[in-house]
Amino acid sequence: MAVSTFVTLGILVLVVGYAVSLYNNLVGLKHRVSQAWSNIDVLLKQRHDELPKLVETCKQYMSYEQETLEKVIRARSSVANAAQQQDMDALGQAETALRAGLGRLFALAEAYPELKANTSFQHLQARISDLENGIADRRELYNDAVNLNNIRIEQFPDILIARFFNFGPFKLLQFSEEETADVDMKSLFGS
Tell me what pLDDT residue 33 has: 95
* CATH number for 113: 1.20.1440.20
- In sign, the C-alpha dihedral spanning 91, 93, 97, 103 is positive
Give the pTM.
Answer: 0.79
Report the half-sphere exposure of 108 (CA within 13 A, side-chain side).
Answer: 22
Q: How confident is the model at residue 109 (pLDDT cuts 50, 70, 90)?
A: confident
How do residues 118-133 score in pLDDT, each as one tens digit?
Answer: 888 889 999 999 999 9
Q: Are the C-beta atoms of 172 and 147 separated by less than 8 Å? A: yes
Task: Give tens-digit pLDDT for 43-73.
Answer: 999 999 999 999 888 888 877 788 888 889 9
The parent domain of residue 97 ranges over: 2-189
- DSSP assignment of the chain equals -HHHHHHHHHHHHHHHHHHHHHHHHHHHHHHHHHHHHHHHHHHHHHHHHHHHHHHHHHHTT-TT-HHHHHHHHHHHHHHHHHHHHT-HHHHHHHHHHHHHHHHHHHHHHTT-HHHHH-HHHHHHHHHHHHHHHHHHHHHHHHHHHHHHHHHHTTSTTHHHHHHHTT----------GGGGSPP-HHHHHT-
Q: How many domains does the chain have?
A: 1
pLDDT at 25 over 80: yes
